[in-house]
Structure 1
Amino acid sequence: MTAPEDAIRARRRLTNKLIAAHEAARLKPFFAPDARLIAGDGALILGADAIVDAFAGQFRDPDFGTYVRTPETVELDAAGERAAETGRWVARWKSGEMAGAYMAAWRKQTGQWVIESELFVTLAG
């Protein structure tokens, strides 16, 4: 059986690959239906559909490259049903990069880890 921390890190690697491949629709199963995302500029995006739509919009930008999130810590609650992931992120465009810190809240839903909320803070770029 895969440890929860390893499962979350593996799902993060998969989201990075899907973003690099610009496959927005395939990101939807990684988000809870009621997920919330605060982007690096402070914009609030509510719901998995809106988050996936935001990715799709960025993927249509010919200058956009990818986002890479690199986990530094994954901590579980006592029941093993929620987790907090913290790490660093970088966004790449042909014209440059932005980077910063992030925090993601995960919850176990029907046996799978999904993102319930993410907060990105832009610190460079």
Structure 2
Amino acid sequence: MTAPEDAIRARRRLTNKLIAGREAQRLRPFFAADARLIPGGGGLILGADAIVDAFAQQFHAPGFVAYVRTPETVEVDAAGETAAETGRWTGNGQSGAYMAAWRKAAGQWIIESELFVTLA
């Protein structure tokens, strides 16, 4: 059995790969239906469908450079049902810090919310 921390890190690597491949629709299963995302530029994107649509729009932008999220910590609650991931992100000439809240649903880790802060 894979440790929760390892499973979350593996799912993050896969999301990075899908973003690099500009495969927006394949990102959908990684987000809870009611997921929330605050991008580095501010604002709020509500729901998995809106998040996937935002990715798709970025993927079609001229000069798009894939985002890469690199986890620094993954902390899992005692019950093994929720987790907090923190790390660094880069993409499109910017970089910063991020935090993601994960929850286990139907045996799979999915993202409930993400917050990205642009620092450079």
What interval of TM-score do these two structures reach, taking the shorter chain for normalisation?
over 0.9
Tell me the TM-score normalized by structure 1: 0.95
1:9-45 Cα offsets, whole Å, 9 max, x none, are: 0000000000000000000000000000000011100
Tell me the TM-score normalized by structure 2: 0.99
Q: How does 1:35-114 map to 2 (within 5 A)?
A: 35-92=35-92, 97-114=93-110
What fraction of aligned residue pairs are identical, expressed as a percent? 79
Q: Distance in 2 between matches of 1:40 and 1:62?
A: 19
Match of 2:34 in 1: 34
Letter in 2 for 1:112: Q
Match of 1:25 in 2: 25
RMSD: 0.5
Partner SS state of residue 12, structure 2 = helix
Can you give the 5+ residue segments of structure 2 that lack an aligned partner in the other structure? none
Match of 2:7 in 1: 7
Partner SS state of residue 62, structure 2 = coil
Q: Distance in 2 between matches of 1:38 and 1:114?
A: 16
Letter in 1 for 2:9: R
Higher strand proportion: 1
Match of 1:123 in 2: 119
Q: Distance in 1 between matches of 2:90 and 2:52?
A: 19
Letter in 1 for 2:102: W
Letter in 2 for 1:119: L
Can you give the 5+ residue segments of structure 1 that lack an aligned partner in the other structure? none
Count of residue pairs the alignment pairs up: 120
1:87-113 Cα offsets, whole Å, 9 max, x none, are: 000013xxxx10000000000000000
Letter in 2 for 1:118: E
Write out the 4+ residue segments of structure 1 that deviate beyond 6 Å after TM superposition: none
Partner SS state of residue 66, structure 1 = coil
